[in-house]
């Protein structure tokens, strides 16, 4: 029996304890059983089955074409390969546009193996967050740059740079915590704003392009392996520094996040 198999399964309570201690945890995307096992072996606490699969696996220009059928299939695949990590799953575009759809689709992802669902938006998600939390479904709310709203934003742009927008984001984060959100995810926001929000909340905050002060960090797996055609500022190629191939790159990422070495200043927005 390996040392990894002796580790306890990561739960929401585990993540809350890490947050309370002021420590860090690592999150990476995975879409299949093989990579789920590699993430487990590397000590990655959270696996995100993201709708990023639309771009990474399916070749779309954005995440909008991803369906619930796609998400359920990939959550099931990850679940089969997972023994330890906490599984979070994206609810895809327009899958939470009504109360009935929100409940039915979240339940489908939980039955497939998710332990938390992730929704993109702001304070307007408070009622959906409360609805799910009251029924025992943990919720992560994704704020900042929300890829499902890419057509509204007009591109992949940093959010929260002007004072009014930043203040609104802090207020909405507090509202969502009050509504029952268990985790907040911030994408492409200034590091100073991410720090402010993290300090204002009691729940863990995960960042991607949000500076070093959030409780957790998340990246797309293919990005840390240097095989994605698009290379955002907040991405680092960990495979280039690995002496143990893909497994080593994943382990290096997880260790660097927990030790506070990643993200470095060059991966952050002012």
Beta bridge partners, 185, equal: 142, 206
Positions marked catalytic: 187
Instruction: Report whether 144 contacts 160 (CB < 8 A).
Output: yes
Cβ neighbours of residue 12 closer than 8 Å, sequence gap 6 or more:
86, 115, 116, 138, 182, 183
23 marked ligand binding residue:
no
243 marked ligand binding residue:
no
Alpha helices in 95-154 (DSSP H): 99-112, 126-134, 150-153
Angstrom distances, CA of residue 156 to CA of 122, 150, 205, 237: 17, 7, 21, 20
C-alpha 75 chain-centroid distance = 14
Cα–Cα distance measured from residue 185 to residue 217, given in angstroms and rounded to the nearest whole number: 9
* Structure-block tokens of residue 83: 């023994």
**By three-state DSSP, how is residue 141 classified?**
strand
172 marked ligand binding residue:
no
Which residue reads 């143990």 in tokens?
244
Which residue reads 């009251």 in tokens?
134
* Structure-block tokens of residue 229: 């055609």
51 marked ligand binding residue:
yes
Cα–Cα distance measured from residue 93 to residue 236, given in angstroms and rounded to the nearest whole number: 27
Cα–Cα distance measured from residue 230 to residue 246, given in angstroms and rounded to the nearest whole number: 19
120 marked ligand binding residue:
yes
Residue ranges of the annotated binding site for 3-methyl-2-oxobutanoate are 51-52, 90, 118
Residue ranges of the annotated binding site for Mg(2+) are 51, 90, 120
Residue ranges of the annotated binding site are 51-52, 90, 118, 120
């Amino acid at each position: 029996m390996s040392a990894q198999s002796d580790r306890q399964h990561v739960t929401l309570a585990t993540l809350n304890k890490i947050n309370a201690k002021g420590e860090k945890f690592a999150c990476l995307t995975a879409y299949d059983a093989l990579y789920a096992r590699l993430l487990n072996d590397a000590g990655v606490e959270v696996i995100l089955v993201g709708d990023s699969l639309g771009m990474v696996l399916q070749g779309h220009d954005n995440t909008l074409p991803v369906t619930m059928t796609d998400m359920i299939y990939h959550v099931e695949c990850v679940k089969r390969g997972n023994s330890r990590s906490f599984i979070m799953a994206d609810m895809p575009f327009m899958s939470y546009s009504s109360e009935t759809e929100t409940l039915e689709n979240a339940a489908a992802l939980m039955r497939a193996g998710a332990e938390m669902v992730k929704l993109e938006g702001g304070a307007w998600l408070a009622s959906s967050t409360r609805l799910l939390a009251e029924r025992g479904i943990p919720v992560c709310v994704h704020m900042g740059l929300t890829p499902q709203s890419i057509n509204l934003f007009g591109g992949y742009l940093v959010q929260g740079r002007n004072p009014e927008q930043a203040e609104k984001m802090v207020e909405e984060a507090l509202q969502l915590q009050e509504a029952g959100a268990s985790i907040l995810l911030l994408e492409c926001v200034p590091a100073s704003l991410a720090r402010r929000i993290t300090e204002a909340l009691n729940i863990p905050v995960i960042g991607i392009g949000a500076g070093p002060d959030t409780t957790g960090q998340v990246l797309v797996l293919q990005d840390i392996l240097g095989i994605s055609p698009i290379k955002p500022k907040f991405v680092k190629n960990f495979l280039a520094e690995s002496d143990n191939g893909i497994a080593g790159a994943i382990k290096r990422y997880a260790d660097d996040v927990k030790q506070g070495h990643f993200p470095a200043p060059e991966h952050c927005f002012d």
